[in-house]
Structure formats: C-alpha cells, structure tokens
Amino acid sequence: MYQLSFQIRTLAPVVISLNYGKINTVNTEKHIPGTTILGMLAWRYLKQTKSTSDERGAIDENFRHFFLSGEMIFTNGWITRKNKYEEDVAFYPAPISFRKSKANEKEIYDILFTDEDFDEQTQAIDYAMAEHQYTQTALELHHHHARDRATGSPAKGLLFTYEAISPDQVFRGTLLGDKTDLQIILDTCKKQWIGWIGRSRNSQYGKVEFSFEAIKPLEMEHLSDEDNNDIVLTVLSHTLIYNDLSVTKIKQPFFPVHSSSYIHQEKMYCS
C-alpha cells in the first residue's frame, strides 16, 4: 500500500458543522473530516475530467473505484504546528488519558500510568504529539442576522452564530491506496489548487488551499513476540472491534494481534 499526503491551509473561516450545539449556534469540528476530503477531491476530479461522451464510461468507472468503492482511504486532516525545522507537523487527537495540570500547563500526565494516590487537578488536551507537546485548533465566532424564510430579508431581533476554524491554519492528512490509483488522482487533480469546503462555502466561509506531496510507500511497524513492553493504542477514528463470533464488543478482554498471540488489556478509556 502507498500513501499520498495532502495539506490544507485555511484562507477564510471554515465551518464543518456538528450535529449538536446550542440553539441558534452552529458549532464546528476542530479537524477536517475524511468525508470532507473525499467530497472535495470527488468534486475536483469530476471538474477536471470533463470530456467527450466516448470517454465518460471509463471516467465514471474510475470515479466509482476511487470514491465509492472504499478501496481508497481518506484520512482526517489534523491540525499542524511548526517544528524546530519550520516543517508543518501533524498533531493527532490526544488520548483521553492525557491530561495537563491546571496549576502548570507544561506538566502533562498520562493517567493510564499514574498511581492510585494521584490527585493532581488536571484538564483535557485536544491534540498532541510525541514528547508531550500539545496544541489546539484556533476557533472564532461570527454573528449573523437570522433571515425570514418567507421574505428572505433579515428577521428583526434574531441572531445566529457560526463557530468557525480560523484562517491561516494548516491541516495534514493522507490518502492510502494502490500506487497507480494515487498517481491518477495526483495527475488529474493537480498538485495544488484553491477550493471550498464546509458550510456556507462560496460566501465568506470555506476557502482553502489544497496541495499534494509525493507518493511514498506506506511505512508500517509490526509487533513481534519479543515486544513485551506496555503499549498504548489510541484510535484516531470510529472503530468497530469484533469477537470470534463477529459480534461487536467494546470492553472485550483481548485484542487479537495474530493467530498465536494476544495483547492483554489492562485499562481502557472510551467515550
């Protein structure tokens, strides 16, 4: 399997609306969901492949293969920050066991490995990376007059609020798939372009700069029977785990690694 990394820079406020929130307020995700990436690239692919009817059949088959079959994986786009080499490095969702001290925000604890007498006052972290660095996505609020649906004019005395991802932030993610398929996506969609995502796009919201990097083999690490150290597994998306009877179980005692080895689950935190 190969990977094609992408980068999204917000050029305007971006609203990726959530399904919950306060009345008259639209709340946003703090990352760019993989479904949004898929939709943006599908739109770009169709726009770039306008052609004669003789070619349409092959193009439609490619479209179904890339965007509808599930053969290609579109990861989320995660917030980045500059490292010491001025490179944009992705920060992934912090394990919910990661907490920062309320008294000293530079103190980070993983309560999976704390003693029973641990009593430090802590609070949650949004995104983290190695070496106990953490960050959060910058958000902003935009207030608008609600509109009368019948007349289209502003409704007197009624306001609604958009929570939005602030401009000039960079998100990184990856497309995973066959090398030939990824090359077609790169050649068709081009290395860099301007697009729109999220709610109320094409108005004052949603303008982004999208860019691809080079296609590379996917690097994976494998556990062996000699790996006896403690392991923390953090899922970065919704995950379904099945037992031997193909029944979904969240709090099962073992996560199978391969047919002759198991990881013993000691603690689990989930929402």
Structure tokens at 73: 């994986």
Q: Is the per-residue pLDDT at 248 higher than 90?
A: no
- Burial bucket for residue 20 (CB in 10 Å: 0-12, 13-18, 19+): exposed
Residues 6+ apart with CB under 8 A from 34: 73, 74, 75, 76, 173, 237
pLDDT at 84: 78
- Rounded to whole angstroms, the Cα distance separating 20 from 216 reads 38
Query: Residue 262 domain-assigned?
Result: no
Query: Residue 146 domain-assigned?
Result: yes
How many folded domains does the chain comprise? 1
Q: How would residue 232 be classed by pLDDT, with cut points 50, 70 and 90?
A: confident
Query: Residue 84 domain-assigned?
Result: yes
pLDDT at 260: 46
Q: Which of 40-49, 83-92, 103-112, 240-249 has the lowest mean pLDDT?
A: 240-249
- The helix (H) or strand (E) run that includes residue 54 is helix 53-63
pLDDT at 157: 64
- The helix (H) or strand (E) run that includes residue 227 is none
DSSP string, 15-36: --B-S---TTEE-B-SSB-HHH
Q: How would residue 255 be classed by pLDDT, with cut points 50, 70 and 90?
A: low
Q: Is the per-residue pLDDT at 95 higher than 70?
A: yes
Residues 17, 199 contacting (CB under 8 angstroms): yes
Query: Residue 226 domain-assigned?
Result: no
Neighbours of 57 (CB within 10 A): 9
Query: Residue 65 domain-assigned?
Result: yes
Q: Is the per-residue pLDDT at 64 higher than 70?
A: yes
CATH classification of the domain holding 145: 3.30.70
Query: Residue 238 domain-assigned?
Result: no
Query: Residue 191 domain-assigned?
Result: yes
pLDDT at 25: 84
pLDDT at 224: 67
pLDDT at 204: 82
Q: Which of 131-145, 166-180, 238-252 has the lowest mean pLDDT?
A: 238-252
The mean pLDDT of the chain is: 82
Query: Residue 237 domain-assigned?
Result: no
- Rounded to whole angstroms, the Cα distance separating 169 from 80 reads 8
Residues 28, 15 contacting (CB under 8 angstroms): yes
pLDDT at 219: 84
Range(s) of the domain holding residue 74: 2-94+125-217
What's the predicted TM-score (pTM) here?
0.79
- Rounded to whole angstroms, the Cα distance separating 242 from 236 reads 18
